[in-house]
Structure 1
Amino acid sequence: MTTDIESTTASVPGAPGTVGRILQVGALMPPLARALAERYDALVLPADAAPFIAEHGADIGVVVTSGGEGVGTELMASLTSLKAVVNFGVGYDTTDVDQARRRGIVVSNTPDVLTDCVADTAVGLLIDTLRRFSAADRFVRSGGWASARYPLATSISGKRVGILGLGRIGRAIAHRLEGFGCVISYHNRTPASGVDYAYVSSLLQLARESDVLVVAAAGGDETQRLVSAEVIDALGETGFLVNIARGSVVDQDALVAALVEGRLAGAGLDVFDDEPNVPAELLALDTVVLLPHLASGTVETRRAMTDLTLANLDAYLADRTLVTPV
């Protein structure tokens, strides 16, 4: 493939002019970043963006970014010729999708290819949090086993698990937990089709009826702080929370307070409000398992995500379509 992306896009049949330059926004996986530079002659948005935007903003037709970075309101407004946002990741709440719709800017993401790994992570977090394996590992390494028995933990088998968000990932989590004999129920805005799990119309009621609440809902304004202090209190002092979705879905201050005060038995967290910053209070708690937003972090999945990101980009350059539009 030629590295002269402007000449490539100019020859697209039926295209009204060129697509314009491609811009990388935020850090991306090295193979993806290399492909953008070598195959597409992509520009990279620098930390000091203002001078760059003043010089190149009107030339940018496509942005390639990640779910963690996105194209926010101000950046999108400054890219006056933007036509497409190609997103590496299933989440796109960091991109101003409303503005994109108003302006006719298309947006893609990378669903499906990361479903299994994220579901695996959710189940791993659930097991680790209830059985306290990470804390037990620290106990052994610190020499505690030489002088004491490790405290008893909580069984997974047969637990009542409530899932917030029964989409692709939520269903994959539920399917895995069936193998543990867990009783699955869920909360969505509307009941999901094709499943036998119990639908609970109130998130608060779901929390009351669950031993573990697994958060698998999409981020964004509609789900901001959906897991509120009231929901956390409904889980209670024997309840657990697992979050592999977005930190914004949970009221983090309320969660920290409940964990510190013993009003919640434990939590397994892969995501946080202000990543990579984690509340200091959580670092000292053996009832909490903390992961650095790695739910899809396997070689196989990241390779598949890279391939799908490039497939979306190639499709858009070829005929203004996307393989996986949002």
Structure 2
Amino acid sequence: MDQFQSQDLPQLLIIRPPLSLAIAESQLSQKFHLLKAWESELPLDQFLTTYACSVQAMLCYPFTPVNADLLRLLPALKLVVSPSAGVDNIDLVECRRRGISVTTSGSAFSEDVADTAVGLLIDVHRRISAADRYVKGLWTSKGDLSSWFQGDAS
């Protein structure tokens, strides 16, 4: 997409680089002009002041504090989107006071996270990953797997 078309899209502010942006960036870039604050040479407050009157939405990842100081710099902001379930980093009272909507992923990933947690618990209890590593690396030099685990109290 060329620079002119990108400028016609609604702006989406992202303050800190998320680990997962690479996965969704091409899709987001088709619908939004991404303002990546971490790529700017300007200090954050100057960067935000530059876009203060035009930024209406912000994609907020954990560890990005959305507090009164930040919100004061973005008077046109109408929406804060958190792709996680948590909102500990977002001042919900201040957002409500300013009429800013806040949305999260809610429980969209709850079942997957629970499944992963149970799988990891079984893995640790049954030592599946440890046995796999042993068979792939130490079996020929250290012998039987049970002798390797006997000294391991964990």
TM-score normalized by the length of structure 1: 0.37
Unaligned runs of 5+ residues in structure 1 are: 7-20, 153-284, 288-326
The aligned residue for residue 149 of structure 2 is: 151
Deviation at residue 107 of structure 1 after TM alignment: 0.6
| Equivalent residues, number | 139
2:37 aligned with 1:40, yes or no? no
The aligned residue for residue 213 of structure 1 is: none
2:15 aligned with 1:25, yes or no? yes
Distance in 2 separating the partners of 1:106 and 1:286: 51
* Shift in alpha-carbon separation, 1:147–1:125, aligned structure 2, 3 A: closer
TM-score normalized by the length of structure 2: 0.70
- Between structure 1 and structure 2, the one with the greater Rg is 2
2:82 aligned with 1:87, yes or no? yes
SS at match of 1:76: helix
Percent of pairs with identical residues: 28
8 Å contact kept, 2:66–2:89 = yes
The aligned residue for residue 156 of structure 1 is: none
Distance in 1 separating the partners of 2:58 and 2:65: 8
* Shift in alpha-carbon separation, 1:77–1:96, aligned structure 2, 3 A: same
Q: Specify which structure has the higher proportion of helix.
A: 2
2:100 aligned with 1:105, yes or no? yes
8 Å contact kept, 2:60–2:83 = yes
The aligned residue for residue 136 of structure 1 is: 131
Deviation at residue 45 of structure 1 after TM alignment: 1.6
The aligned residue for residue 72 of structure 1 is: 66
8 Å contact kept, 2:12–2:59 = yes
CA RMSD after TM alignment = 2.9
8 Å contact kept, 1:23–1:42 = yes
Distance in 1 separating the partners of 2:153 and 2:50: 51
8 Å contact kept, 2:131–2:145 = no
Consecutive aligned runs of 4 or more in structure 1 exceeding 3 Å deviation: none
Letter in 2 for 1:79: L
Distance in 2 separating the partners of 1:134 and 1:286: 16
* Shift in alpha-carbon separation, 1:132–1:75, aligned structure 2, 3 A: farther
SS at match of 2:51: helix
8 Å contact kept, 2:84–2:105 = yes
